[in-house]
Amino acid sequence: MPEGIVPELIIAAVLLLILAGVGIASRTKREPRDRPPTKPDATRPRAQAPAAAAETLAVDETTPAPVPVVVPEPLKLGLRDRLVKSRRYLADQLTTALGSDDDDAWDDLEAALIQADIGVGTATRLTEAARASAGRTHRKNGAWEELRGLLADELNATFDADAERSLIMADDPPTVWLIVGVNGSGKTTTIGKLARDAAERGRTVALAAADTFRAAADEQLGVWAERANAEIVKHQHGADPGAVAYDALQHARARGLDILIVDTAGRLHTKTPLMDELAKVRRVIEKEGKVHEVLLVIDATAGQNGLVQAKEFAAAAGVTGIVLTKLDGTAKGGIAVAIESELGIPIKLIGVGEGIEDLEPFEPKAFVDALLS
Ligand SMILES: Nc1nc2c(ncn2[C@@H]2O[C@H](COP(=O)(O)OP(=O)(O)O)[C@@H](O)[C@H]2O)c(=O)[nH]1
Ligand SMILES: [Mg+2]
């Protein structure tokens, strides 16, 4: 290496380093491109930027180390909260009736109870009882508690305290529950909830997709099966519902499963009447085994219409219990009273939301308390 080049190289390197340093410094000072260049401004001293930086640093220093965020479990709403619409409606109507001075107040109360879908007969009986017991003086003084207690007693009396409300399990598995009801009443959702509940109790469950008429009904059931960790037996769209039920029973047997829940159509596109088809599904299962429950799913928001459906299904499908759904979405929770008193079939479960856990056993006293609290 020729002499004299080494010092030149060193000088060049030093120059480069200086240039690089200036470059970095000027880049850090440069404003971001999308920000307009700062004009000299008397109201905005140049020292502001470094001060802001210092502030940020100071804040950074005092900020505690990030703590993991603990998201609280959502509070499980009680029955009282779920029945809020019915409860408020009844409370408002009763308060109005009690606060009123004129003789029509009792008629108003009766009308309110009918509006709450308690049923005309029951509403009249309740009102008469309230009138006889409370009397005008009490009412004028606002005997809310007294009337409430009286109604609670009367309502409780409309439910059969001795009715069997738990779902029947087979001595010799699989237990078979047939789920019936009109379209949109909540059958498939209820099946998902039931399957999940059973799985949580350590039971093994299969679902039969015997609603072969509604488009994508089996896919919807499949989603619930997955959520509930249940097996699913299905055929192609439009297949014979009885054949699906039969295969599902064989499957449950072969796999030694505890419970088979059979989803059914709520409306058919064929000439066969729905009730005949349901009877056929039932017969097919009973050739090989037993149907332990026929649960009729009724949408509480359908009000008195639900009662009409219930009568039809009860007569044709041998319903053993009612599942009253969507009680969270209606002010007409009184339909529970009408169903039990007019059909004489026990409500076994109530649906109080769209979530997988929103199914509860029906306990008349807790229900009446929640309704009138
Ligand atoms: N708010 C509320 N919605 C429900 C309840 N049960 C079912 N649903 C809704 O009702 C609709 C129809 O339910 P689905 O199970 O498909 O009825 P199906 O036609 O009888 O099988 C769906 O949007 C469900 O989420 C319930 O208890 N509360
Ligand atoms: Mg369905």
Parallel/antiparallel/unpaired status of strands 359-361 and 347-351: antiparallel
Report helix, strand or coil for 255: coil
Q: Is the pLDDT higher at 206 or at 10? A: 206
When mean pLDDT is compared across 5-19, 154-168, 230-244, 334-348, the lowest value belongs to: 5-19
Pocket of ligand 1 contains residue 154 by CB under 6 Å:
no
Tell me the whole-structure pTM to 2 decimals. Answer: 0.78
Question: Which pair of tokens denotes residue 31?
Answer: 């404003």
Pocket of ligand 1 contains residue 357 by CB under 6 Å:
no
Report helix, strand or coil for 86: helix
CA of 261 to the centre of ligand 2 (A): 13
Question: Which pair of tokens denotes residue 250?
Answer: 């064989």
Residue 182 CA, closest ligand 1 atom number: 20
β partners of residue 349? 323, 361
Q: Which residues of 139-164 are buried (b: 16+ CB within 10 A; e: fewer)?
A: beeebeebbbebbbebbeebbeeeee
Question: Which pair of tokens denotes residue 153?
Answer: 């007693």
Any idea what the Cα angle at residue 154 is, between residues 151 and 155, rounded to 5°?
85
Pocket of ligand 1 contains residue 219 by CB under 6 Å:
no
Tens-place pLDDT, residues 304-337: 888 888 898 988 889 999 999 999 988 888 899 9
What is the rounded CA–CA span in Å between residue 81 and residue 361?
Answer: 16
Across 174-197, average pLDDT? 96
Gyration radius of the chain's alpha carbons: 35
Contact 148, 94 (CB under 8 A): yes
Which of 189, 193, 212, 223 gets mutated to test ligand 1 (max ligand atoms within 8 A of its CB)? 189
Question: Which pair of tokens denotes residue 284?
Answer: 């097919």
Pocket of ligand 1 contains residue 186 by CB under 6 Å:
yes
Pocket of ligand 1 contains residue 325 by CB under 6 Å:
yes
CA of 229 to the centre of ligand 2 (A): 18
In the chain, pLDDT over 70 holds for what percent of residues? 74
Dmax over CA atoms of the chain, in Å, equals 125
Across 288-312, average pLDDT? 92
Closest CA to 221 of 285, 170, 265: 265
Number of Cβ within 10 Å of residue 273's Cβ equals 11
Question: Which pair of tokens denotes residue 369?
Answer: 């308390």
CA of 341 to the centre of ligand 2 (A): 27
What is the rounded CA–CA span in Å between residue 179 and residue 278?
Answer: 10
Tens-place pLDDT, residues 129-161: 877 766 654 554 556 677 788 888 888 999 999
What is the rounded CA–CA span in Å between residue 190 and residue 356?
Answer: 8
Q: Could you tell me the CA-to-CA distances from 82 to 89, 190, 266 in Å, in that order? A: 13, 17, 26
CA of 189 to the centre of ligand 1 (A): 6
Closest CA to 359 of 198, 143, 131: 198
Is the bond preceding residue 174 a cis peptide, omega within 30 degrees? Answer: yes
Contact 150, 134 (CB under 8 A): yes
Across 333-345, average pLDDT? 90
Across 79-99, average pLDDT? 82
Pocket of ligand 1 contains residue 264 by CB under 6 Å:
no
Pocket of ligand 1 contains residue 351 by CB under 6 Å:
yes
Q: How much is the pLDDT for 63?
A: 62
Tell me 237's DSSP state.
Answer: T
CA of 182 to the centre of ligand 1 (A): 11
Tens-place pLDDT, residues 25-76: 434 333 333 333 333 343 333 434 444 444 444 445 566 666 666 655 555 5
Across 88-110, average pLDDT? 76
